[in-house]
Chain A
Amino acid sequence: MRIDHDQFDQRAGAEVSDVPAGAPVQDDMTTPTSPGIERRFADFDTLQDAVDYAATSACGLNFFDARAANPRALTFRQLKEEAQAFARRMIARGIQPGDRIALIAETSPEFAVAFFGSVYAGALPVPLPLPTSFGGRGGYVEQIRNQLTSCDPRLAVAPGALTEFVAEAAEHFGRGIDVLGWEDAAALPEKPCDFPTAGPDDIAYLQYSSGSTRFPHGVEITHRALLANLNGHAVGVGLREGDRCISWLPFYHDMGLVGCLLSPVANQTSADYIATDDFARRPLSWLKLISRHEGTSLSYSPTFGYDICARRISSQSSVAETFDLSRWRVAGNGADMIRPSVMESFAKTFAPAGFDAGAFTPSYGLAEATLAVTISEPGTGIETDLVDERRLAGESRADAAANGDLRKRRIVNCGRPLPGMRVEVRGADDSLLPDGEIGRVLIAGPSIMTGYFRDPEATAACLDGEWLDTGDMGYLKDGAIFIVGRAKDMIIINGKNHWPQDIEWAIEQLAGFKAGDIAAFAITTPQGEESPAVLVQCRTSDPAERARIRDQIKAKVKEMTGMSCVVELVPPRTLPRTSSGKLSRSKARSLYLSGEIQPLQVAA
């Protein structure tokens, strides 16, 4: 296997060859870490006010290339000026307050300008994903099409190279959506104008990181909800002089957008970025970026980000000479189930570079709550409870104790609620459960969404008055939340949420398959990772024909969702139903795992 960071030494490392190995390099090109003004913790009425104040600071955003070199800096002052110019162009083009502007969320100054420019224009920016890998053009265009259908924008702006995909996705809209590249948008005529005034309860933006790609839900976040969450973020991490945010997380994901773009702006903190696809190719660029900062670093990742760094580093390489992670003050964990063994492996691998496992800061959050709901105390690291596997599977504490089972799983303490947020755990009958009892996690407080955009049905399904049912399972202990499982049907692979509906829908696109014949769910591999599996009812008796059908299904799922999936053909009428006749994925999963559903034989 290749040794990734040796390539750094040969290539990007060339610039640092005249300083001692491992010594941080402060690049004069980037924005300073100290704001130079009194720092305010997001105590603003609107996001516009937050940008206006940030523009009086010395801080800004810095976009690095794939090898963590050659930063492009955008000070908050420039961000404000360019965003206001963008807003004047949008208003001159007829954009009205409340209109949506879809933005392909590239990690670039252009995206940041367009996002805040949309906000100044009174429009709702809607960050949408980038394509991620080889093949899958059909799936990407379909995903963008579904999100455009859901948010119904006046305009979509994208990197020039991607406008063709977006235009393809925007075809056949009755009203028509203008699709522009960043440069086209920057070349539009500007007219002097006043900006519409926003109130704290106006919607600031829509976020699509939650929900399925086939049936997307745009989370509506108000200025008030956003700023409350950003204040909570600053308070939660104990933001202080010398802190800098470093990120590779995508801006179309809540942790990337809210935690690593909006929070730095609203809390006057400089941020350093590498693009997500650059991180995926060269993950150690992330650690390089952390190493170059002389002050303290705040940097967050789902479990898999830490995992691929630990895996990429070779055993014979000298971590200590390549990286300095001693000032990584808050190494945030979130966005997926936190796996303590992976974190320990990361900490062990990078201890020679000064990484302190106490920097791990587990948190719990979801897009429907803007971002974070709870966060653990920085400096305490990962604390775990040992919980009996069978209690996790739904048995009561008394039953599990009586059966004397010894298999235990470690559950991570995700910390206490941010200021103003409340967390409850309720049982199946909606009663409040005492400490230590596993149930549904409900949350309330200022950063809860107002709802899903134009989707009252989906909103009503999770939001009841001030309480949001997260769909996650967990328990409380001394006011801290321990999450034992995310939304029960959701499949999380490499930090990305997948919905079984999307896999099932992909298969329904093949001739001869219909809804109800198909059940998708996650299974756990022997390595402890999640993998998608799908059971498909099949009436064919010829094993060779079955093999052809299975391969066709695998290919279709891969094309539409990007995932390699375990496909099992099962006899007709074997998939279980709920009492109301709906397919029960969780029951199908347990019948399959217990062997009660036997897959059909397929020709080799």
Chain B
Amino acid sequence: MIPNDNIEKYLAGQTTVAETEELLRWVNESEDHKKEFTEACKLWYALQANKYNSDKAFASFVASHTPKPAKAKIFPIWKKISAVAAVAILTIGCFTLFNKQPESITVANNNATVETVTLPDGSTIYLQNGASVTYPEEFAATSRTISATGNIFCEITRNEKAPFTVTSNKLTIKVLGTSFQVNSTNNAYVVVETGKVQVSTDTQSVIIEKGERADLTNNTLVTTTNTDLNFLSWKTGLLQFRNTNLSQVFSDLARHYNCEFAYTKSCADVAKMNLTGTYQDLPLAQVLQMIEAAIPEFHYEINANVVLVSNSK
């Protein structure tokens, strides 16, 4: 008797010891049997291959072996050398003569949480995930200059004798004392929370005040009144909607939770509905539940980081 069906059972891990032994005997009987067995194995493997996601696995592998550079303070190389040994003193001594400018410190935030940096003058910089800031260990008497990338929020200590300047790759922002947000990602913009700032590019300069924003669009600075209620939600954890169109709500939530919203044409009516509500420090699923409770036509499903919007359960 050819225990052919046992191959399937064996591959599914369901054979008893007796059945396994029987199968092995059968496999060893002839080359043909062996071939039949190995062909079955190959087919089985070919069928399973789609079950495992190697891209996802590779991503988690990279994350596990990459040291987390969060809070990494990057000191200039010569400070590291001076800390090494006395042997190097002579060289260092010569070197420092030519390096009178203060050391700079770089803080990068690779965490999902907001990172806070206090500058030597007492000003506070908040870094969103992906942002970094470089500042001198000590500010000069007449000017305070830092550079930044990503999305940051600045609360600047007032000092009229030493203007405060933030440089990013596209914009330069000059202030006396104020709080404002600088975003230097693809669509660079500055939003002022309090006070007055001057925003400049290589060719243009504008002054914006509390409640205004400047956007760099096609290399031109455009100033408008800020209507984005949630521009600081990443820092405050507060999401507010006042009679806000759901499509706007989705885009604010997408930015805040770093997720995506998807909906079909049949849900276009849902996206036009308005929402009023305030959500403080809540997980996405809870916010969506509350929206579902407020708007009966709104339903959703969370799939990885994509929120699928539907108009029926």
Q: Do A and B bind each other?
A: no
B-binding residues in A (CB < 8 A): none
